[in-house]
Structure 1
Amino acid sequence: MSSIAALRAHLLATGLAGAVGTLREGSLRSYRLFAARDPRVTLGLAARGEWSAGDVMALMADRCGVSADPNERTGPDVIDPERTLTALDAFADQLAEVAARRGAVLLGTGHPDRLLGFYAGLADALSATGCLVLTPAQGRCVDITTRFGVRTYNLEYVRGVALVRAPGARGAGCETGAHTHSPLPLRAAVEGLAEQEGPLPDLVIGDHGWVCGAGQLGMRAIGLADTDDPALFVGEAEGRVSVVVPLDDGRRPAHYRPLTRYVLKRACLSQ
């Protein structure tokens, strides 16, 4: 994207911002569950403050631009593109800082079917500038509780980006990995680093439990989050997550490529 105006238009045209695919009723449910400290939505973050459902809604209205009216209960949720653009700039500034000191970075996603390409572009650029892209605990088993019970996944890396796959799923058609909100893959990766006595990440980049899990452990973390993922924004509000970019995280993978180009250009990491 050659300009802010073009990127804003792209966000609105693709539904990454503006009226998004996430439904209002789902977001409200997440706010209630977060207030109840349900681990399905806390994503590994133990909030320090008292967060009622109303508090969470007010925060999401401030950080994302969703409606602050509790009587609005149905229809598509809304993300203010200006908030997305502002957060993308802050996200890029974090990349520039870690690149300037050739820091160690860990990238991981719970949305590999949608967001793998976005993160892989960042990993390639950071590696090219001299950053150490960490890939610890390759192949380690991670037991994650799902709505179908406990499932065992393997921690794997694709182009420097961590994800989890069901055993035997490698090469299964176009499958890239499992969708998960769990912080356990992040914890497995950190355990792997400790066992290797290698450097801890100067920056964790990702979504869901990768960001919240890192923030809970005191690591600097930045990421992307939808309107039904309040934990990342609570982490940001409490100072344990550095930057969260509000956007719809369930769109076509190609829709995120202009965002990769934009943040890399702003961070002076374009190849």
Structure 2
Amino acid sequence: MNTAALRAHLVGAGLAGVVATTRESSLRSYRLFAARDPRTLIGIDPELAWGQRDLIELMARRCGVSADPRHTVGRDVIDPELTLAALGAFADRLRAVARRGACVLLGTGHPHRLIGFYAALADALSAAGCTVLTPAQGRCVDITTRFGLRTFRLAYVRGVGLVRPAGSERPGCETGAHSHSPLPVRLALEAAADAGGPLPELVIGDHGWVCGAGQLGFEAMGLADTDDPALFVGQAEGRVSVVVPLDDAVRAAYYRPVTRYVLDRACLSQ
């Protein structure tokens, strides 16, 4: 898929352009981040004082959302040109890591939507000679949710880390649970270090997987929606290498052209 075709797909599928994420949701996230609420920091400990207006300006530059703080309702907007540029940088990092046959760690807090995207990357990197790490598989981690403290189990599906409710076999939980927490990646990295390595040269994912790894000094990159300011702050402060702005909750099938584009550009198509 060429760049023009991908741009049309991004806008048509709601991955960029006018997206489903609301301005109200994004502004709420910016307010909570400015107040240093852990629910929106998701593993990043900002060095600078980020007020809500600072975050709006940052997200306008990096995502394309409205820079007008008086714009408070409606659906948010992602500039597809910013998405395309970030996908190019994302693919370039994949290609460089693949050429070295480096160790990588992948994880997602959006398994129902994005497991196919990350699994395809894991398969391609493994075929190129990279070691796809799966540390702490089966280990439990307690995560605070809107329902209180819950115990989850770290699992890997096709090389991609995710969490599942511990002891739960309920239908719909097979793929994994939605999570913003940095605790799973911290658990994985700690287990890898305790075992004497190897450690990942690159962590790929979203939410807490990126922020938690970046805060610990690992190179990390991934995808983020307009209401995920932590990844963009991490990038602005030098702890996240690449952030791709796009809606992270559309139908899983809509990410397949993005996957093909990234793998083609990274010279990892099989």
Same fold (TM over 0.5): yes
- TM-score tier (shorter): over 0.9
Aligned to 2:198: 199
- Cα contact 1:20–1:79 (8 A) shared by 2: yes
Query: Residue by residue, what CA displacement relative to the aligned partner does 1:166-219 show, whole Å, maximum 9, x if unpaired?
Result: 123357347411100000000010111012111110000000000000110000
Query: Residue by residue, what CA displacement relative to the aligned partner does 1:62-94 show, whole Å, maximum 9, x if unpaired?
Result: 000000001111110000000000000000011
Aligned to 2:122: 123
Contiguous gaps of at least 5 residues in structure 2: none
The normalised TM-score by structure 1 is: 0.98
Query: Per the alignment, do residues 170 and 98 of structure 1 end up closer, same or farther by CA in structure 2, a change over 3 Å counting?
Result: farther
The normalised TM-score by structure 2 is: 0.98
Aligned length: 270
Aligned to 2:41: 42
Aligned to 2:89: 90
Query: Per the alignment, do residues 238 and 173 of structure 1 end up closer, same or farther by CA in structure 2, a change over 3 Å counting?
Result: closer
- Cα contact 2:164–2:173 (8 A) shared by 1: no
Please tell me the residue identity of whatever aligns with 2:78: I
Alignment of 1:33 onto 2:32: yes
Query: Residue by residue, what CA displacement relative to the aligned partner does 1:248-270 show, whole Å, maximum 9, x if unpaired?
Result: 00000000011111111101010
Aligned to 1:186: 185
Contiguous gaps of at least 5 residues in structure 1: none
Query: Per the alignment, do residues 45 and 174 of structure 1 end up closer, same or farther by CA in structure 2, a change over 3 Å counting?
Result: closer
- Cα contact 2:103–2:132 (8 A) shared by 1: yes
- Cα contact 2:98–2:129 (8 A) shared by 1: yes
Partners of 1:174 and 1:92 lie apart in 2 by: 31
Aligned to 1:265: 264
1:12 deviation in Å? 0.5
Aligned to 2:57: 58
Please tell me the residue identity of whatever aligns with 1:117: G
Q: CA RMSD in A?
A: 1.0
Aligned to 1:218: 217
Q: Percent identity between the aligned chains?
A: 72
Please tell me the residue identity of whatever aligns with 2:234: G
- Cα contact 1:169–1:175 (8 A) shared by 2: no
Task: Kindly report structure 1 stretches of 4+ aligned residues shifted beyond 6 Å.
Answer: none
Partners of 1:148 and 1:130 lie apart in 2 by: 42
- Cα contact 1:107–1:119 (8 A) shared by 2: yes
**SS of equivalent to 1:227:** coil
Query: Residue by residue, what CA displacement relative to the aligned partner does 1:39-70 show, whole Å, maximum 9, x if unpaired?
Result: 00000100011111000000000000000001
